[in-house]
């Protein structure tokens, strides 16, 4: 065996080791089933440190389930999840609790605790894990509040006294309080007006820049995905896949979304109902003994045209 061959092997091994060190979260053949219903099937994703990954896909495709499974809020039926090379399903409850210090989760409707003030909500992770040495809790709370652009007078208010956008920003401040390594956003712009959606997008971008945090964003807002993500993954409902097809229809940078050849991805990106509308109307027609609204459909309606 000559020396150059050995050095090639050594450099490939180093490259592999550095790649695996660079990966913060990885799923290996992850599957999630409820009874006979398969939600996620053999999902394998590696998320490098510092990357912002957007998971897109229609409602019911399993995006939120995947997000919750990543941080141990749901247990997978099979497969493994590695966080910093540690299998989170093999961890004890105590180790998992300690590991959760490194996660921040921004819930769809913020999931703020109704019984607490905004200050108590933001301080909750500090209460659980303790205040880092040399820092003061009130200073940290004010700093995070300032970062998400909220005035300090909201601290004494209850979540019910805030608007949807403000609640989401409080949710982000709470998720950021311990400066986590991994931030997960569940539909951060859903239910917000376009201006507030852009504010939230901007906050996600700034947070990533400031803390160099790895982020996973579940969204079906394509504007948001294009603005914030380095990489986009599109999931498709398992029940609609052909046998043997992967549930991940697209995995690449957002700029490639417009050049994909997959009809389903292009339909989603362009927001076209395609054959779904026909399916729905056919179901309506069946339910109404063939006297449905099929006659009222304009076959030249652009919404009915599939892209291919």
Partner 1 sequence: MATADRIFQRSILGRLQNNLFRTASAWGSVVVSGLTTLGDVTLFASQMLMWMFSAKPKKDTLLPNFYSIGVLSLPVVALTGTFIGMVLAIHSYDQFRNMGMETRLGAVINMSLVRELGPVLAATMLAGRVGSAMAAVIGTMRVTEQIDALVSMGANPIHYLVVPRFLACVLLIPALTIMADFMGIVGGYFHSVIILGIDHAQYLKNSRDFVGGFDLFSGIFKSVIFGAIIAIVSCYHGFHCEPGAEGVGRAATTAFVQSFVMILAIDIVMNLMLRAMEFALWPGGSKLI
Stretch that binds partner 1, among 46-54, 110-118, 144-152, 288-296 (CB under 8 A): 110-118
Among 41, 56, 107, 187, binds partner 1 (CB under 8 A): 107
CB atoms within 10 A of CB 48: 16
Can you list the positions of beta strands (E) in the chain? 23-34, 37-48, 52-56, 78-83, 86-87, 103-106, 182-186, 214-218, 231-235, 248-252
In the Cβ-directed half-sphere of 32, how many Cα atoms lie within 13 Å?
Answer: 23
Q: Does 77 bind partner 1 (CB under 8 A)?
A: no
Among 3, 4, 35, 114, binds partner 1 (CB under 8 A): 114
Shortest Å, Cβ 64 to partner 1: 10
Q: Does 125 bind partner 1 (CB under 8 A)?
A: yes
> Per the structure block, which two tokens stand in for 96?
């998992």
Among 80, 108, 117, 306, binds partner 1 (CB under 8 A): 108
- Cα separation, 227 vs 169, in Å, equals 18
Q: Does 70 bind partner 1 (CB under 8 A)?
A: no
Q: Which is nearer to partner 1, 32 or 234 (CB)?
A: 32
**Could you tell me if residue 237 is left (phi over 0), alpha (psi between -120 and 50 degrees) or otherwise beta?**
beta
Q: Does 68 bind partner 1 (CB under 8 A)?
A: yes
| Cα 38 → chain centroid | 19
CB atoms within 10 A of CB 5: 9
Q: Does 91 bind partner 1 (CB under 8 A)?
A: no
Shortest Å, Cβ 105 to partner 1: 4
DSSP one-letter string for 100-142 = GGGEEEE-TTTT--TTS-HHHHHHHHHHHH-PPTT--HHHHHH
Q: Does 263 bind partner 1 (CB under 8 A)?
A: no
Q: Does 35 bind partner 1 (CB under 8 A)?
A: no
Q: Which is nearer to partner 1, 124 or 211 (CB)?
A: 124
Q: Which is nearer to partner 1, 73 or 142 (CB)?
A: 73
Q: Which residues bind partner 1 (CB under 8 A)?
A: 68, 71-73, 93, 97-98, 100-101, 103, 105, 107-109, 111-115, 124-125, 128-129, 174
């Amino acid at each position: 065996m000559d020396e150059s061959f050995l050095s090639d092997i050594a450099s490939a091994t180093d490259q592999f080791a550095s790649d695996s060190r660079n990966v913060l979260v990885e799923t290996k053949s992850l599957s999630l089933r409820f009874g006979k219903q398969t939600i996620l099937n053999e999902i394998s994703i590696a998320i490098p440190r510092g990357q912002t990954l957007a998971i897109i896909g229609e409602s019911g495709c399993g995006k939120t389930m995947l997000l919750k499974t990543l941080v141990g809020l749901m247990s997978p039926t099979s497969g493994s999840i590695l966080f910093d090379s540690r299998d989170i399903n093999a961890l004890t409850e105590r180790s998992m609790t300690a590991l959760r210090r490194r996660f921040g989760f921004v819930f769809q409707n913020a999931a703020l605790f109704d019984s607490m003030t905004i200050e108590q909500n933001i301080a909750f992770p500090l209460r659980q894990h303790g205040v880092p040495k040399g820092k003061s809790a009130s200073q940290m709370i004010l700093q995070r509040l300032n970062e998400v652009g909220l005035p300090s007078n909201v601290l004494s208010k209850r979540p019910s006294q805030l608007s949807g956008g403000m609640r989401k920003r409080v949710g982000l401040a709470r998720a950021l309080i311990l400066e986590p390594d991994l931030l997960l956003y569940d539909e951060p712009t859903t239910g917000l007006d376009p201006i507030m959606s852009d504010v939230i997008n901007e906050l996600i971008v700034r947070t990533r820049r400031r803390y160099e945090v790895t982020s996973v964003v579940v969204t079906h807002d394509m504007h948001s995905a294009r603005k914030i993500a380095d990489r986009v993954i599109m999931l498709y409902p398992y029940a609609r896949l052909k046998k043997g097809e992967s549930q991940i229809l697209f995995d690449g940078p957002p700029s490639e979304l417009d050049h994909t050849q997959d009809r389903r991805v292009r339909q989603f990106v362009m927001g076209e109902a395609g054959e779904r509308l026909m399916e729905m109307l056919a179901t309506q027609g069946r339910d109404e003994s063939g006297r449905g609204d099929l006659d009222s459909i304009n076959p030249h309606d652009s919404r009915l045209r599939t892209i291919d």
